[in-house]
Amino acid sequence: MTNKTHTVEKIGGTSMSRVDQLKDTLFIGSRQGEALYGRVFVVSAFGGITDLLLEHKKSGEPGVYGHFANAESDHGWHEALTRVGSEMRKRHNAVLDHPGDIEQADAFVSERTLGIRNCLIDLQRLCAYGHFRLSEHMLQIRELLSGLGEVHSAFVTTLMLQRAGVNARLVDLSGWRDEGNVTLDERIAQAMERIDPHTEMPIVTGYAQCAQGLMREFDRGYSEVTFSRLAALTGAREAIIHKEFHLSSCDPKLVGEAAVHKLGRTNYDVADQLSNMGMEAIHPKAAKTLRQANVPLRITNAFEPDDPGTLIDDHAAETPAVEIIAGLDIMTLEVFEQDMVGVKGYDAAILEVLKRHGVRIVSKVSNANTITHYLDTSFKIMRRVEKDIAQVYPSAEITTRTLSMASVIGRDLNGLSVLQRGLVAIADAGLSAIGASQGPRNVDVQFIVDRDDLQAVIKALHSEFIESVRPRLTRAA
Ligand SMILES: Nc1ncnc2c1ncn2[C@@H]1O[C@H](COP(=O)(O)OP(=O)(O)O)[C@@H](O)[C@H]1O
Ligand SMILES: N[C@@H](CC(=O)OP(=O)(O)O)C(=O)O
């Protein structure tokens, strides 16, 4: 593949669910002949499919993997896999027109789901013998399952584009029935070796099977890791992430498309804060790869291909400004222990428990005798965490609560009095904040609120900091 003459472009699950519309905008639109090419597409599974294969990203509700891992009922996973198959059929039926293509896609789903079903049955059988432990294979099962979502959406997209006269080629990185143990870079390099993106349009699966395990290393949101490695390895001119909306000052579904402002430019610092709030502007590890390879990153609205979208780079803001308001449901874990005063190491033991249970920490505060973690996790995991901490600190008072966090984010918030104005805006809306914090680096201010109040708080903050931006007269710290 040639250097700096092509782009690598990722399409997320939400937009993939409308891939038929993307044919008329992003993929083809008014392009003809050569103008169609020079673009490598990396696709995610259709929205919600990975949730059914693994577990729901937000609620943790088990999918095929969750059922197989819990093994509460031997057959729960069978039904879950059947459900995946019928949902996949429903999805490609909605986006494909030609009966021949639908037939091929149906056959593809049947073949792959049957293959996975047989593999899991064989594994269960094998593990009935004491020498083979199912627990040792869980990671491979997770990988096997997640790859199915992306290979399905890539297959369907390739069919759709070929039918429309585009020289599209499916690039399946999922390692299905493949031998050998390759690294992520090798997997990508081998697959792209004989492809000329200037005469054909590669449709690459966002999942890539590799020795290190894409899921183990990067977990959900992994297609952005494949995307960024591909862009870096092939020396792309630009890496582009296509989303359902422009990257905006707030979720357009929450405050309305007319109220939000599009972000013209921002930096990786803001992107990191967004991913901390569960709004994956870009996977943090993917951002690092692109930054190090010097590939510019752009985020665009997949349905408005003529708009340049948001450029993300390493530059500081020219003037301080609030850029985004984001919200996240969290759980708080409060450990109160009178004996904590003056003793070091309490936090380390709590962190150890959180790490063991794979809990993501969004933020934390502490005082003389209390350590509070704001966590992104499920009820079930929280119960286990509580139990483990109680064992380490039997006399500590452990309290958990379900709350939410609203965060005001910008490359440079200096002089904007975000904390103070935010609290006033929340109070003016007749609401209150349970906690609030701002760090000296001044790129985000977090407000902890009741779950029921989150939407109203976000609206109030958006109105204060974005919709009614007043010229600043003072520049207090
Ligand atoms: N600041 C924001 N700008 C744009 N979309 C946002 C924002 N905050 C939340 N969203 C929501 O994120 C959803 C998923 O967006 P998208 O990135 O397209 O999904 P995916 O990761 O599946 O590609 C959108 O439907 C939108 O409602
Ligand atoms: N579908 C996978 C991979 C991915 O990155 O998806 P999305 O681009 O829709 O976040 C997941 O949910 O983890």
**Span 454-463, pLDDT tens digits:** 999 999 999 9
DSSP readout, 318-379? SS-B--EEEEEEEEEEEEE-GGGTT---HHHHHHHHHHHTTPEEEEEEE-SSEEEEEEE--H
pLDDT tier, 84 (very low <50, low <70, confident <90, very high otherwise): very high
The highest-confidence range among 114-128, 135-149, 286-300, 400-414, by mean pLDDT, is: 400-414
Sign of CA dihedral 199, 205, 206, 209: negative
Nearest ligand, CA of residue 63? Answer: 2
In the reported structure, the alpha carbon of residue 420 is separated from the centroid of ligand 2 by a whole-number distance in angstroms of 37
CATH superfamily of 7-244: Acetylglutamate kinase-like (3.40.1160.10)
Residue 51 Cβ inside 6 Å of ligand 1? The answer reads no
**Would strands 297-301 and 310-313 be described as parallel, antiparallel, or unpaired?**
antiparallel
What value of ipTM does the predicted structure carry?
A: 0.94
Q: What's the average model confidence in pLDDT over 403-415?
A: 97
In this structure, which residue's CA is closest to atom 24 in ligand 1? 244
**286 contact partners, CB below 8 Å, separation of at least 6:** 224, 225, 227, 228
Element (H, E) at 227: helix 223-233
CA pair distance 169, 198, nearest whole angstrom: 12
Which has the closest alpha carbon to 259: 467, 410, 465? 467
Mutate to test the pocket of ligand 1, among 241, 244, 275 (most ligand atoms within 8 A of CB): 244
The DSSP secondary-structure symbol of 169 reads E
Asked if 346 contacts 402 with a C-beta cutoff of 8 angstroms, the reply is no
In the reported structure, the alpha carbon of residue 27 is separated from the centroid of ligand 1 by a whole-number distance in angstroms of 20
pTM over 0.80: yes
pLDDT tier, 74 (very low <50, low <70, confident <90, very high otherwise): low
**Span 124-162, pLDDT tens digits:** 888 888 788 888 888 999 999 999 999 999 999 999 999
pLDDT tier, 1 (very low <50, low <70, confident <90, very high otherwise): low
Residue 169 Cβ inside 6 Å of ligand 2? The answer reads no
Torsion region of 330: left, alpha or beta (phi above 0 gives left; psi -120 to 50 gives alpha): beta
pLDDT at residue 72, as a whole number = 56
Residue 220 Cβ inside 6 Å of ligand 2? The answer reads yes
In the numeric block, which tokens belong to residue 221?
Answer: 């949101």
Mean pLDDT of the chain: 92
Is the per-residue pLDDT at 472 higher than 70?
A: no
The highest-confidence range among 90-94, 216-220, 273-277, by mean pLDDT, is: 90-94
Nearest ligand, CA of residue 458? Answer: 1
Residues of the chain with CATH 3.40.1160.10: 7-244
Mutate to test the pocket of ligand 1, among 9, 10, 14, 307 (most ligand atoms within 8 A of CB): 14
CA pair distance 361, 365, nearest whole angstrom: 11
CA pair distance 452, 7, nearest whole angstrom: 43
Least confident interval from 122-126, 160-164, 412-416: 122-126
Query: 116 versus 75: which is more confidently predicted?
Result: 116
Is the per-residue pLDDT at 59 higher than 50?
A: yes
Residue 45 Cβ inside 6 Å of ligand 2? The answer reads yes
In this structure, which residue's CA is closest to atom 5 in ligand 2? 221
CA pair distance 230, 239, nearest whole angstrom: 9
Is the per-residue pLDDT at 474 higher than 50?
A: no
Q: What's the average model confidence in pLDDT over 75-91?
A: 95
The DSSP secondary-structure symbol of 135 reads G
In the reported structure, the alpha carbon of residue 406 is separated from the centroid of ligand 2 by a whole-number distance in angstroms of 23
Residue 224 Cβ inside 6 Å of ligand 2? The answer reads yes
Mutate to test the pocket of ligand 2, among 16, 43, 50 (most ligand atoms within 8 A of CB): 50
- Tell which CATH classification among 3.40.50.150, 3.30.2130.10, 3.40.109.10, 3.40.1010.10 matches the domain 324-467: 3.30.2130.10
Residue 14 Cβ inside 6 Å of ligand 1? The answer reads yes
pLDDT at residue 344, as a whole number = 81
Number of helical (H) and strand (E) elements in the chain, helices listed first: 17, 14
Ligand 1 atom closest to the Cα of residue 248 is 3
Residue 254 Cβ inside 6 Å of ligand 1? The answer reads no
In the reported structure, the alpha carbon of residue 291 is separated from the centroid of ligand 1 by a whole-number distance in angstroms of 22
Is the per-residue pLDDT at 400 higher than 50?
A: yes
Residues of the chain with CATH 3.30.2130.10: 324-467
Ligand 2 atom closest to the Cα of residue 219 is 13
In the chain, % of residues over pLDDT 90: 77
**Span 174-228, pLDDT tens digits:** 998 787 789 999 999 999 999 999 999 999 999 999 998 998 888 888 999 999 9
